[in-house]
Amino acid sequence: MLDINQLRNELDEVSLRLKSRGFKFDAALFTDLETQRKVHQVKAQELQEKRNDISKKIGIEKSKGNEATDLMADVTQINESLKEQNDALTFIQKQIHDYLLKVPNLPHKSVPQGLTEDDNVIVRELGEKKLFDFEVKDHVDLGHPLGLDFDMGIKLSGARFAVIRSNLALLHRALGQFMLDTHTREHNYEECYTPYLVNNESLLGTGQLPKFEEDLFNTKKGGSEDNLFLIPTGEVPLTNFVRDVIVDKNELPIRLTALTPCFRSEAGSYGKDTRGMIRQHQFDKVEMVQIAHPESSYEALDEMLGHAESIMQKLALPYRVISLCAGDMGFGATKTFDIEVWVPSQNCYREISSVSNCEDFQARRLKARFRDNDKKNKFLHTLNGSGVAVGRAMVAVMENYQLKNGDIEVPEVLIPYMGGIKVITS
């Protein structure tokens, strides 16, 4: 959520920055609501002051032994008026709050200008693309004889679900374990196991609600009206660790990681990537989250990007880093880097990781703060990133390590996780 004081003091500037990412801020609505808020707030303050003055007079009259019936009647009338003003003030404040919940974060000044992925900027490109002396297959054709079963996924759950079996399932598990080990042992993240179902408050805090409810899977507890949502990313439970918490400054940065399934309805993406595992309703991902001091959050962003890149480098997969333009960033991000892996069958790069600094945008929603040296409570900065998406990593390994006969060579770094298996065969 944006800083309301910044909106009050720099409305035109904020509106322009939001426009740069394709969002039209309703300045007229905000100004009107703010005007109403001020009117009710001033009237409430005036009534409180008047009530306090009369209360003092009542005390004086009673100390003299005099009746104060008329004065007490005035207090009763003021209380009724004060309640009306406070109720109106609360209603207006809720309207402002509800509107701001749907407003995205401001782009950082270093973010490239533009509204679509065509305006993103390539930062660097690393790794050599393998030259095949045979016609490459995509992961669907490669996976069919190796245990990648989309028909079974449809049978069990419907479109955009998959079943993985045999040594291909072992490869999928090996990738996740390798990523977790790398981030915990080399990058100093604390491994966490979290719920895969979360409440409204958790999704509100990280920005998925209320704007993106249609992208979520909503569940009902048996025989109850209470509902929980399947997590769209491990970012949600991990970031909510600091909801309604005042963190000791000396504990920063907090580094958390988890391997979780992620569930997304993919609303609005019909017709896109319907073949294969690129866009599934359920997929696994290793998530990295950092809770940082505001002065060091951009150092943390670069650090996290390096952590995600190290996975690609260890797997020896060709990739590139993209700085997203303002219009292509996620709702809560102020600056985002994507890592895109080379997919030979598509002859292009595809996103495999996204690393973002949200600054204090989520922290304001979460009421996540820290006690600074001046003894004041200030909002934390939150960062999140994929480290990386397991299913897409498996797709990249299958396609980049495919052999002419359809077998899959196992990347050297994964062989210990595969029980010594060096080639996946049918």
Tokens of 41: 């707030």
Same domain? For 84 and 122 the reply is: no
Same domain? For 263 and 338 the reply is: yes
Which residue stretches of 101-209 are H helix? 139-143, 150-156, 166-185, 200-206
- For the cut 80, the answer to whether the pLDDT of residue 211 exceeds it is yes
Digit-coded pLDDT (tens) for 2-47 = 999 999 999 999 999 999 999 999 999 999 999 999 999 999 999 9
Same domain? For 328 and 410 the reply is: yes
- For the cut 80, the answer to whether the pLDDT of residue 273 exceeds it is no
Same domain? For 253 and 295 the reply is: yes
Confidence at residue 270, expressed as pLDDT on a 0 to 100 scale: 60
Is residue 6 included in any domain, yes or no?
Answer: no
Is residue 20 included in any domain, yes or no?
Answer: no
233 belongs to an annotated ligand binding site: yes
266 falls in which pLDDT band (50, 70, 90)?
A: confident
Q: pLDDT > 90: what percent of the chain? A: 92
234 belongs to an annotated ligand binding site: yes
Helix (H) or strand (E) holding 121: strand 121-126
Confidence at residue 133, expressed as pLDDT on a 0 to 100 scale: 96
Q: Which residues contact 389 (CB under 8 A, 6 or more apart)?
A: 283, 284, 285, 352, 353
CB 418 within 8 A of CB 403: no
Confidence at residue 269, expressed as pLDDT on a 0 to 100 scale: 61
When comparing pLDDT for 216 and 268, which is higher? Answer: 216
336 belongs to an annotated ligand binding site: no
412 belongs to an annotated ligand binding site: no
384 belongs to an annotated ligand binding site: yes
- For the cut 80, the answer to whether the pLDDT of residue 222 exceeds it is no
Q: Helix-strand-coil percent breakdown of the chain, rounded to 5?
A: 45, 20, 35
354 belongs to an annotated ligand binding site: yes
Is residue 13 included in any domain, yes or no?
Answer: no
- For the cut 90, the answer to whether the pLDDT of residue 173 exceeds it is yes
271 falls in which pLDDT band (50, 70, 90)?
A: low
310 belongs to an annotated ligand binding site: no
264 belongs to an annotated ligand binding site: yes
- For the cut 90, the answer to whether the pLDDT of residue 371 exceeds it is yes
386 belongs to an annotated ligand binding site: yes
Same domain? For 400 and 312 the reply is: yes
> Which residue segment(s) compose the domain that 60 sits in?
26-101
351 belongs to an annotated ligand binding site: yes
Q: What is the CATH number of the domain that holds 57?
A: 1.10.287.40
Number of domain units in the chain: 2
**In whole angstroms, what is the distance from residue 239 CA to residue 218 CA?**
20
Tokens of 115: 């509204």
21 belongs to an annotated ligand binding site: no
Is residue 290 included in any domain, yes or no?
Answer: yes
Same domain? For 44 and 130 the reply is: no
User: pTM to 2 decimals?
Assistant: 0.94
- For the cut 90, the answer to whether the pLDDT of residue 268 exceeds it is no
Same domain? For 313 and 167 the reply is: yes
Q: What is the mean pLDDT of the chain?
A: 96
- For the cut 80, the answer to whether the pLDDT of residue 92 exceeds it is yes
Q: Which residues contact 164 (CB under 8 A, 6 or more apart)?
A: 143, 147, 148, 149, 172
